[in-house]
Structure 1
Amino acid sequence: MVAIRNTVLEAWMTEHGHSSNSLADAVNSAVEELTGRMGGLDGSSIRAWKAGRVTWPKSATRTALEMVTGLPAVALGFVPRGRSSPTPASSQQEDPEMKRRTLVGGIAAAAAAAAPGAASPRRIGMSDVSRLNKRFAEIIANDHRHGGQPRIEEQATALADEALNLQNAGSATQRVRNSLYASGAAFRSSAMWAAIDGRRYEAAKAHMREAQALAEMSGDQAIKFRIWSHAGTMYRHMGRPADAIAANDVARNLHLTRRDPLFASLGLARQGAIHGTAQNTTETRRAFEQAQDAMLRADPADHRPVWLLAFYDQAELDSLALSAYLALGDYPTAEYHAHRCLALLRPHMVRSRAIATTRLAHALLSQGAADAATATAIRVSADAATRHARVSRMLQEFGAALRATAPRSTTVQTWTEHTITWRTTA
């Protein structure tokens, strides 16, 4: 049987500027959205569609293609199995004028299905969402490396606006619209976190309000968890433990935490850090015991959002415990968690390493080990010491405590000389 070329699909690709490779990439991303696994198409797969060698793609691939194009497969020239299609003989006997009318008619049908009316608005699809999600992964990576920088906050805010602008750029399915709201909420929550990390709390609260509204419109429980959990951390850093617990409880009471122990673990670990700030030793220990148990029950194979997988693991749990026990004044336990955290931190967690190292220096100094504490604090990079607001403040507090603990000692002199090098190299 001679294959009949799919001129309608070719016309749609030309109109939308897609090569075979770019359409394959877009459909593969949509397959991943549907199934959790990246699709296996390449340029040759799309060329087989155009050549008519494949007349009806497999179910998941077909659904992904419909998500990308916004058109049913039949409107793209595909023929369901079991239905008749033009025979090779009839195709060969067509005169040139008939072929021209068939091609023009196919283009018109595709255009009409994509956007009725005189003007053809753009069709927004999951490929647009996937493109935004790639930018989100870049924001996450920058945050873990640099943390708290105004430029990260500005980039995330701009990308949130881009997600919202897409809502008005053309037609889209409800699923796509919900995904765009979720992307906007995710970017706003990253802007919120950058502001928290940089101690710009008024800006953080403004981002929080925007993020919460977008998350409600998206219906995405994971992003709701992220925003309310960030809110709990923000109030903890602001010294408002009652508000911090209330906000974190909103995150912990989402159905998601009952379905996935890893989300439950993060909620409990952050609750433990809040209890440490509130000087509640019993609740702190209980929260971290439960957080550890939940983490051990979590299935590593479960599909989870990139922002969670990028930072929450055993090292982060120990980092939160380090913060809590340092606040409680239990310095040996804080030191224990600091060493565990630093041993387990992944290489990309540059900001987290600087914070944990600074907290370890505080724990050592509070136990009378001024020399070891100073040697530890000196390991913090000049970039983190001078450009990261949280680290900078903690190191200033360390210097003040060191001078109060060992005035006029050579250790104080060593520290003073080292901080001068920060100012000259940063």
Structure 2
Amino acid sequence: MDTTRNAALEAWMKEHGHSSNSLAEAVNTALEDLTGKRGGFDGSSVRDWKAGRVKWPNSATRAALEQVTGLPATALGFVPRGRTPSTPAPQQEDPDMKRRTLVGGIAAAAAAAAAPGTAPRRIGMSDVDRLQKRFAEIIVSDHRHGGQRSIEQRAAALADEALNLQNAGSATQRVRSSLYACAASFRSSAMWAAIDGRRYDDAKAHMREAQALAEMSTDQAIKFRIWSHAGTMYRHMGRPADALAANDVARNLHVTRRDPMFASLGLARQAAIHGAAQDRTATRRTFDQAQDAMQRAAPEDYRPVWLLAFYDQAELDSLALSAYLALGDYPTAEFHAHRCLSVLRPHMARSRAITTTRLAHAQLAQGDADAATATAMKVPADAATQHARVSRMLQEFGAALRATAPGSSTVQTWTEHTAAWRTTV
């Protein structure tokens, strides 16, 4: 095995005063920010990287390294599988420029490529790595805030910048496919932000663009994400037949046969659609299948960051909560809500607000207005006022509470609480 030392990583660590242990600690913290799960690296892990025994860390680790250093993985001396380390690593960035924007960097590259008398720029995997780092940042923003138009606009702009790179210089077919996959990833995040914000016309426009880009990329995982999002969008729009058809496209992709975790997510979302369609038997059967597939899924480092960052037992229970609420099975919905909240990762702020609101609905539907109101009051003010889905569900909760316990002290408590939101946000 070729174990050529990683001189670029060693040089970066020396320049920035990092020991093997301190870099491992920084990467573990970055992984927790990205995925909600703290990394398990130690000094020996970093020594393996420096010695060249690990040439290409998995996608989540690369994203964490890039967050810590501000550099793409290739600039840190890591070599993608199937590539030889014959090309020297790019020069280290000026530390003061670590936080430069992607838009500025790509615009400069495009201008250089277009300038008369200059040699065409070579677009490589380091450019793709830089885009993937930005994608990881979009994922983090989405899980913390969700549904915001600013996230949608930023993701859409980054999709356009990824496409601009196609015309900024020469590239191999592998790089071009990867750029299309990056553009599709960003566009799918714009689509999801629009869905989460109930801006469905915008979501459909992003969907069409994302689907075309995904076809050009031939990336199965991003195709799954887009079609699975489409199924969720139609479910929220009250169109279960369209939702099932879109989700079936995702579930029939080869990636679901290769990896049970993708199969589990497809089944869990299918079950949520069955709940919206009032098919009680199919809902229970499909959730059982989703749970079984999750239990069969082995830990794999090739899964994309977007999947690692959100799909787990908590998300499966969140989808079950949505389905059983729609079916009117409120005790079962409450069970899944509590189970979801007990294992929900800390960074999933948007998901916690949605689950808490749905739990309040389940409790109120069982006649416990006091407990339901206490639960609803746990939703943070920013989510209650700025997240479209949460805001709407809380408005519906208030209307149901007033219908259930008109004139009660509980209604007065809720009214005063919601009035306070307008002064604190």
Q: 1:376 to 1:60 in 2, by over 3 A?
A: closer
How far is 1:67 from its partner? Answer: 10
Distance 2:252 2:356 in 1: 33
Could you say which residue in structure 2 is the equivalent of 1:167?
166
Distance 2:135 2:411 in 1: 43
Q: 1:222 to 1:67 in 2, by over 3 A?
A: farther
What residue identity is the alignment partner of 1:303?
Answer: Y
Q: 1:396 to 1:36 in 2, by over 3 A?
A: closer
How far is 1:31 from its partner? Answer: 4.7
Distance 2:353 2:80 in 1: 49
> Runs of 4+ in structure 1 displaced over 2 angstroms?
19-22, 30-38, 57-62, 64-69
CA contact (8 A) 1:345 1:353 kept: yes
How far is 1:33 from its partner? Answer: 7.6
Could you say which residue in structure 2 is the equivalent of 1:32?
56
Q: 1:35 to 1:214 in 2, by over 3 A?
A: closer
How far is 1:303 from its partner? Answer: 1.8
Q: 1:242 to 1:120 in 2, by over 3 A?
A: same
What residue identity is the alignment partner of 1:271?
Answer: Q
Distance 1:34 1:321 in 2: 31
What residue identity is the alignment partner of 2:228?
Answer: S
How far is 1:202 from its partner? Answer: 0.2
Q: 1:67 to 1:247 in 2, by over 3 A?
A: farther
CA contact (8 A) 2:56 2:81 kept: no
Instruction: Summarize the alignment of residues 327-406 of structure 1 with structure 2, pairs less than 5 Å apart.
Output: 327-406=326-405
How far is 1:119 from its partner? Answer: 3.6
CA contact (8 A) 1:232 1:243 kept: yes
Could you say which residue in structure 1 is the equivalent of 2:98?
none
Deviation string, structure 1 residues 221-248 (Cα, Å, up to 9, x no partner): 0000000000000000000000000000
Deviation string, structure 1 residues 167-225 (Cα, Å, up to 9, x no partner): 00000010000000000000000000000000000000000000000000000000000
Distance 2:85 2:249 in 1: 34
Could you say which residue in structure 1 is the equivalent of 2:184?
185
Q: 1:224 to 1:67 in 2, by over 3 A?
A: farther
Q: Give the TM-score of the pair, scaled to structure 2.
A: 0.76
Q: 1:62 to 1:283 in 2, by over 3 A?
A: closer
Distance 1:36 1:63 in 2: 22
Q: Give the TM-score of the pair, scaled to structure 1.
A: 0.76
How far is 1:301 from its partner? Answer: 3.1
Distance 1:242 1:68 in 2: 51
Q: 1:66 to 1:341 in 2, by over 3 A?
A: same
CA contact (8 A) 1:365 1:402 kept: yes
How far is 1:254 from its partner? Answer: 0.1
How far is 1:350 from its partner? Answer: 0.1
Q: 1:34 to 1:263 in 2, by over 3 A?
A: closer
SS of equivalent residue, structure 2 residue 56: helix
SS of equivalent residue, structure 1 residue 148: coil
Distance 2:174 2:344 in 1: 37
Deviation string, structure 1 residues 347-397 (Cα, Å, up to 9, x no partner): 000000000000000000000000000000000000000000000000000
Asked whether 1:267 is paired with 2:291, we answer no
Could you say which residue in structure 1 is the equivalent of 2:280?
281
Distance 1:140 1:58 in 2: 25
What residue identity is the alignment partner of 2:123?
Answer: I
Q: 1:276 to 1:65 in 2, by over 3 A?
A: farther
Could you say which residue in structure 1 is the equivalent of 2:97?
none
CA contact (8 A) 1:31 1:61 kept: no
Deviation string, structure 1 residues 247-305 (Cα, Å, up to 9, x no partner): 00000000100000000000000000000000000000011000000000000134200
Deviation string, structure 1 residues 97-138 (Cα, Å, up to 9, x no partner): xxxxxxxxxxxxxxxxxxxx9641111000000000000000
Rg larger in structure:
1
Instruction: Summarize the alignment of residues 131-142 of structure 1 with structure 2, pairs less than 5 Å apart.
Output: 131-142=130-141
Q: 1:418 to 1:35 in 2, by over 3 A?
A: closer
Q: 1:361 to 1:227 in 2, by over 3 A?
A: same
Deviation string, structure 1 residues 400-421 (Cα, Å, up to 9, x no partner): 0000000000000000000001
Could you say which residue in structure 2 is the equivalent of 1:235?
234
Provide structure 2 residue ranges, at least 5 long, that are not aligned to the other structure.
1-7, 16-48, 66-77, 91-115
Higher RCO (Cα < 8 Å, 6 or more apart): 2
Deviation string, structure 1 residues 327-349 (Cα, Å, up to 9, x no partner): 00000000000000000100000
Identity of aligned residues (%): 77
Distance 1:34 1:187 in 2: 20
Distance 1:222 1:341 in 2: 25
Could you say which residue in structure 2 is the equivalent of 1:107?
none
Distance 1:186 1:267 in 2: 18
Q: 1:35 to 1:320 in 2, by over 3 A?
A: closer
How far is 1:63 from its partner? Answer: 1.8
What residue identity is the alignment partner of 2:56?
Answer: E
Could you say which residue in structure 2 is the equivalent of 1:415?
414
Could you say which residue in structure 2 is the equivalent of 1:311?
310
Distance 1:394 1:37 in 2: 37
Q: 1:326 to 1:61 in 2, by over 3 A?
A: closer
SS of equivalent residue, structure 1 residue 273: helix
CA contact (8 A) 2:59 2:301 kept: no
The number of aligned residues is 344
What residue identity is the alignment partner of 1:304?
Answer: R
Distance 1:409 1:204 in 2: 41
Q: 1:65 to 1:147 in 2, by over 3 A?
A: farther
Deviation string, structure 1 residues 23-51 (Cα, Å, up to 9, x no partner): x99xx9x953899986x9xxxxxxxxxxx
Could you say which residue in structure 2 is the equivalent of 1:80?
none
RMSD: 3.0
How far is 1:66 from its partner? Answer: 4.6
Distance 2:58 2:416 in 1: 57
Q: 1:176 to 1:237 in 2, by over 3 A?
A: same
